[in-house]
Structures are given as C-alpha cells and as structure tokens.
Amino acid sequence: MVHIALHVVVPLLVALAFYRGRWRSATGIMIATMIVDVDHVLADPIYDPNRCSLGFHPLHTAPAIVIYAALFVLPPVVGRATDRPDARLAAGRLHLVGLGLLIHMALDGIDCVL
C-alpha cells in the first residue's frame, strides 16, 4: 500500500518542487504514467508482492527505460528549437511523461533492493 501511495506522492512532490507554475497538470500527467503497469496482465500471477518488476515486465525493461529517458531529455531540446506554441506544449507534456515513467521505474526499483 505504501508503494502505491508513493506513486502518487512522489510525482506530486516533484511537480511542486520543479513545475510549480503548472503543478496540477504536471502531477496529473506523471500519475497517469502508472498505466505502464498494464504490462502486469501478461504475468502470472498478475501481482506478486515479492517480484521485482524491473527486468521482468516488458515495459519495465532496460530498452523501455532508455526510451523513457529519451522522452525526458529530448522534448525540451526540441521544444526550445521551435516557436510553435502547440509544439512547445506537446514537448512539455512528453517531457513529463518521460519523467513520470522514470520516477515510476525508480519507485519500482526500490522493491528490488528491499
């Protein structure tokens, strides 16, 4: 239960610390990335409290995490290179999706070392 609460509290704290001007939408986008746990339906059992998700579920593997890191890093670079407000908005959202996914992986990783 603490684990699930962290998936809400940590994005909220990150949004308040680094995205204060848009903390509500930033929090919402980052929490929405919990949908990445949809890959658990491929596992049997779907939920095992003693299982390390990282490296086990397809969307929790190293190649996926590299993509999440790219989502975090690249959109701000692209966003700065354009004057189009819609492109800047989309870049900002993609950046937060990447950040939310990286936070998710980090929090899941805690279960792997405890």
Closest CA to 3 of 51, 63, 72, 67: 51
Closer by beta carbon to Zn ion, 95 or else 104 = 104
Task: Based on the shown chain and the rule CB under 5 A, indicate whether residue 37 belongs to the binding site for Zn ion.
Answer: yes
The rounded distance, in Å, linking the Cα atoms of 29 and 93 is 7
Closest CA to 23 of 85, 96, 72: 96
Closer by beta carbon to Zn ion, 27 or else 53 = 53
CB of 12 to Zn ion, least distance (A): 18
Task: Based on the shown chain and the rule CB under 5 A, indicate whether residue 111 belongs to the binding site for Zn ion.
Answer: no
Task: Based on the shown chain and the rule CB under 5 A, indicate whether residue 39 belongs to the binding site for Zn ion.
Answer: no
CB of 86 to Zn ion, least distance (A): 31
Residues of the shown chain interacting with Zn ion in the complex, contacts defined by CB under 5 A: 37, 53, 108
